[in-house]
């Protein structure tokens, strides 16, 4: 696989992240399941306002994300030959895809107003999937690109523009990735508004397309 193809797939995963966070915030009780920095802030707000349900949802999202990262790191830690797209990254994304399918199925079954237990389960599935994706992106080792949290990338982009510390291609990748997050969130929110039952499908299709492209490209190589 060529590095440019890998970068395009990472961009697609970042768009999936934006979609997941939009859907989780709008449909799962105002909680982020990918952006843990924002989620921790929401946890603090819920605690400060004495909102037990809100703080519990934020804790579940954090725990689900952490477990997803642990599982993803264990999967991607296996030794293999150096390559642009390691096989273990595909395995981690495959598990992520299965969790997103579970999220989609649960979303369809529980309807617009899931019971508290069902809501917590959907949050855990969504956050676990994002933790696995973060571990897969970490294994790929592209400087500054994590696909799930972008504050560091934004800081690096601004600093590089001021100091000319990175190449044009790196700056372009960071900028496009930030844009991909916004576009993914916009698409997720739009689908949630016009076709709420299918809102999680956006992330499923994006991650599925990455899995298909990665599998085809690595087999061809």
The distance of Cα 137 from the centroid of its chain, to the nearest Å, equals 10
Residue 221 lies in a domain: no
Helix or strand run (H / E) with residue 89: helix 87-110
**151 within domain boundaries:** yes
> Which two tokens mark 175?
């900028």
Structure confidence by residue, pLDDT tens digits, 47-74:
999 998 889 999 999 999 999 999 999 9
The number of angstroms, rounded, from the C-alpha of 185 to the middle of its chain's C-alpha atoms is: 11
Helices 3-27, 168-194: inter-axial angle, 10-degree rounding = 30
Residue 218 maps to a domain? no
How many domains, in total, are found in the chain?
1
Q: Is the dihedral of CA 152, 19, 106, 206 positive or negative?
A: negative
* Residue 169 belongs to some domain of the structure: yes
> Low-confidence residues of the chain, pLDDT below 50?
none
Whether residue 219 lies inside any domain: the answer is no
Q: What confidence score (pLDDT) does residue 153 get?
A: 73
Residue 157, CB-side half-sphere exposure with 13 Å CA sphere: 18
- Structural domain boundaries, residue 167: 3-212
pLDDT of residue 145: 83
Dist CA 92 CA 73 (whole Å): 8
Give the integer Cα–Cα distance in Å for 73 and 135.
5
What is the domain-level CATH number for residue 54? 1.20.1250
Has residue 97 been placed in a domain? yes
Q: What is the pLDDT of residue 166?
A: 60
- State how far the Cα of 174 lies from the Cα of 180, in Å rounded to an integer: 10
Question: pLDDT at position 122, please?
Answer: 97
DSSP 148: S
Residue 207 lies in a domain: yes
């Amino acid at each position: 696989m060529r590095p440019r193809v890998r970068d395009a797939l990472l961009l697609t995963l970042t768009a999936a992240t934006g979609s997941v966070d939009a859907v989780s915030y709008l449909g799962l009780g105002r909680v982020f399941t990918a952006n843990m920095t924002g989620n921790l802030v929401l946890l603090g707000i819920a605690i400060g306002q004495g909102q037990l349900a809100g703080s519990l949802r934020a804790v579940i999202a954090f725990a689900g994300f952490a477990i997803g990262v642990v599982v993803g790191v264990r999967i991607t830690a296996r030794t293999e030959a150096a390559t642009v797209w390691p096989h273990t990254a595909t395995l981690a994304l495959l598990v992520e895809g299965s969790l997103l399918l579970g999220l989609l199925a649960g979303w369809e079954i529980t309807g617009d107003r899931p019971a508290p237990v069902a809501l917590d389960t959907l949050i855990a599935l969504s956050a676990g999937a994002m933790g696995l994706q973060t571990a897969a992106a970490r294994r790929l080792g592209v400087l500054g690109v994590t696909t799930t949290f972008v504050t560091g990338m934004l800081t690096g982009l601004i600093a590089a523009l001021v100091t000319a510390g990175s190449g044009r291609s790196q700056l372009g990748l960071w900028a496009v990735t930030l844009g991909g997050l916004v576009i993914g969130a916009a698409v997720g929110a739009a689908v949630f508004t016009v076709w709420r039952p299918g809102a999680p499908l956006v992330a499923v299709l994006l991650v599925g397309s990455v899995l298909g492209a990665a599998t085809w490209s690595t087999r061809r190589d």
